[in-house]
Structure 1
């Protein structure tokens, strides 16, 4: 066995706590396969030993939701290196850029991930999970300032931005969640969001920190979530608010349909009061939390506990408040550069804030130096209520949430402009048929068949970032500042929704 000191405050420490509480109970289940805490621990130690034989800087987990992926995440943390969860179904060029930006030297992949890696053209070693080798005696010690994981967000230059999150940031975050929620070994957690989405860390490490099982949600289960919840005795759910609309379309929001749920968490998009109320009726024993937070602030940084009696009165435009900023953080509201007591761009500083992007050039415009401290500029306009809670009003810039995926409209525009014959492009949003938003792309230049544009964009952008409609115009309307009038384009796109291209 390879000897190693045990870190007391690394993110992996939460799994060790679960191991102590529930050694012989299920830690992760994917379809009919599962691993106990003991079995997963031993596998992760062996794979961590194999990883360290190659002296990696950072390890990518390029896999669908599989036992290989979950053990791989834990193994990288056990090895004391940075883990980079990636979606193997993203376009090859995007994956190549992320692997390169994160300095990945080893990849953990399932068959889908291996195929995706081959398409990038990068010659990176893939961990052979069956190869014998010395296991670690215990997880490698880490420092609080070490990076636990790197996640990527949409970038306005057409290049994804890497966000490193430290062990210290996670320590503060999960310690706070310990005080707020009463999770225990008898809970059953869903693992619903993509592993490259920061909310997956909430799902996994809240469960593992309490010795509870995590169940990966198979795609087919969404057709009848109440039945799946009943079968698995699911108690903790996490999704984007768009998930509520999908369950409604599938007929799953009938009163009392989800009686086993104790906690329901929604994040990634604005949560509407009518959706929260419908979910509450379907899950009457569940507490509902509306969470908010950009990746740069470690998963979520505010939370509002839904109350049918009081929350609707606090809402603005029918949107549930996002709550108060987490303890240990300071925040301020900036209105055109001046601090406001009531409304403005939300800026936050504190222990959950990333130390900066992988590329320092991406820091420009996203961080504010004030009072001798660095503040993260969220780009979100909020209103402060009399009781100190915050209400989300909208984006200051052209960044939006599509199916929980953070999208810079400027990145979509940038990729479209690379298509032959296109002069300029302007992506806007409109309401999607089942709730949430979808993208509509206006462009000038040559008229190009929508199928051609869709195919070209799919080679560079994830599916949520590919517009659902492409509209050719001779020229863009301009506003009073002689800028493209995106608001007018968005109104036009929304007006065409019924007959939608």
Structure 2
């Protein structure tokens, strides 16, 4: 590896190729791809991507379902020197179209399903099929990845806007360099490890799964939905040693009978992020994975994957917990933090968490989206997370909840006004208010709406064409009018209470 490429995100994969060329880099079902094979394949696809465009692309979209095509596709996009824009073919076509436009992607690497979705968008973008036969030996393949600068964008990840317009978060190679310097110091991953790959690739923490594994020369193992029927058996067969998921997965495994005593002995590390993690769930997981260290991670995409981490220690963690929720830990070294009270002034022990430092994105793709999120204060640029935290006595942070209309549903950040907006567009609906309710499976969305009562199936059909699956409500309640609080505003607390009651 030459000196100018050490800062690149994909340098982590290159170190795996150099140190462990014959080891499995990717395992999907019975299909295994070695490091040297994945490298050759990525170079071939990268050459095809560059040949499909008149000039070096600024961004390359990878439109493919989880699997070899998507994993190697991420590498191929990075090898072109462009930013990778991961997208799932099951996203609504309208959202894929807006993400492609916003990211400035000029070429798409797609599997068969992804190519069909691209055609539905109506965008005239060149598409390169993710075919296993395209390798470096073919004409036009690259001899080595294109060099990049530390300030170049490595990934573009998307969150949702309140009107349904996706907001793009560009993260640089430098952002990732600091992030993985922290995790390499914190964790003892090695080439014998097998990492679960659970999260969708357009979810920011999927970058942790892929590049933590590849940086250690370890194996990325795709976890299909059917594995949850007997997760202990899946873990044992594939010797999974590093697990990463949202906390809601714990409830699912429990319901499937997978959290029996000592059921997952191969696990060395278990990571949870994307939702509040309950102490009771960790106790249950630890009983099944007795040899595993467990960490609760926290962080929005704007702060490069995760920005805090708390390592579970039964007595201490439960003593520090607030409302039964595991602390989120201390902010990564090299960052400054600021807590803001309801009045917008600095607070000492409790308030909205603001962070500045090397993991913070410079802003959104569209600077107009920065307002209220990326702010200047005391000559420092801060990212306002919108999350309320409490500073604990040991310097760690406790998560108290959202300070605005954003919620986490199975690890996906959902803005409630976006759901309201989509429901209001449904035939017969006059107005809509979305709230959450807590279930054994985690948070669920419940919509109260006025207008003409509609069959739930009709509302579901309409919303699945405009909202990602995780943003589609689980329940619809028709009201003649919304209850109002003393300030004559919609009484969301009362609606939330109604949502938790049976009909």
Tell me the CA shift for residue 87 of structure 1. 1.0
Say whether the 8 Å CA contact 2:175–2:304 is kept in structure 1.
yes
Deviations 1:188-247 (A, max 9, x none): 111111011111100000000010111111221111110011011110000000000000
Of 435, 439, 455, the residue aligned with 1:449 is 455
Deviates more, 1:199-208 or 1:48-57: 48-57
Query: Retained in 1: the 8 A contact 2:49–2:109?
Result: no
1:426-469 deviations in Å (ceiling 9; x for gaps): 0000123x321111101112222221111111100111111111
Helix, strand or coil at the partner of 1:299? coil
Q: CA deviation at 1:419?
A: 1.9
Residue 38 of structure 2 is matched in structure 1 by 40
**Per-residue deviation at 1:281?**
0.7
Greater displacement, 140-149 / 474-483: 474-483
1:96 matched residue in structure 2 = 97
Q: Is the 8 A contact 1:5 1:139 kept in 2?
A: no
Q: Which of the numbers 213, 217, 220 marks the counterpart of 2:223?
A: 217
Structure 1 partner of 2:488: 482
How far, CA to CA, are the matches of 2:349 and 2:289 in structure 1?
34
Query: In the alignment, which residue of structure 2 is the partner of 1:20?
Result: 18
C-alpha distance in 2 between matches for 1:467 and 1:202: 29
Determine which of 385, 393, 409 is the counterpart of 1:386.
393
Structure-2 residue corresponding to 1:160: 166
What is the 5 A alignment of 1:240-259?
240-259=246-265
Contact preservation (8 Å) 1:6, 1:140: no
State how far apart, in whole Å, the 2-side matches of 1:177 and 1:456 are. Answer: 42
Deviates more, 1:204-213 or 1:364-373: 364-373
Name the counterpart of 2:122: 121
Does the Cα contact within 8 Å between 2:339 and 2:349 map onto a contact in 1? yes
Q: In structure 1, the residue corresponding to 2:484 is in which secondary structure?
A: coil
Q: Give the root-mean-square deviation of aligned CA atoms.
A: 1.3
Task: Flag structure 1 segments of 5+ consecutive residues without an equivalent.
Answer: none
User: What residue number does 2:86 align with?
Assistant: 85
Instruction: Within 5 Å, give how 1:224-239 maps onto structure 2.
Output: 224-239=230-245
Q: Following TM superposition, where does structure 1 have runs of at least 4 consecutive aligned residues deviating by more than 3 angstroms? A: 128-132
Are 1:342 and 2:349 counterparts? Answer: yes
Question: CA separation in 1, counterparts of 2:400 and 2:99?
Answer: 31
Among 256, 261, 276, which residue is 2:267 paired with?
261
> Normalising by structure 1, what TM-score?
0.96
- CA distance in 2: counterparts of 1:372 and 1:379, whole angstroms: 21
Structure 2 residue aligned with 1:208:
214
Q: Following TM superposition, by how much is the alpha carbon of 1:325 offset from its aligned partner in structure 2, in angstroms?
A: 0.4
- Cα distance in 1, alignment partners of residues 154 and 459 from structure 2: 38
Contact kept, 8 Å, 1:5 with 1:140, in 2: the verdict is no
| Cα displacement string for residues 129-188 of structure 1 (whole angstroms, at most 9, x for unaligned residues) | 456432222111111111101111121121111111110000000010010000011111
| 3-state SS of paired residue (1:495) | coil
User: 2:65: which partner in 1?
Assistant: 64
8 A contact 1:431–1:494 mirrored in 2: yes
SS at match of 1:333: strand
Deviation of 1:68 (Å):
1.2
Q: Who is 1:198 aligned against? A: 204
Question: Deviation at 1:481?
Answer: 2.8
CA distance in 2, matches of 1:50, 1:231: 37
Structure 2 CA distance, aligned partners of 1:441 and 1:103? 34
Separation in structure 1 between the aligned mates of residue 376 and residue 390 of structure 2, nearest angstrom: 22
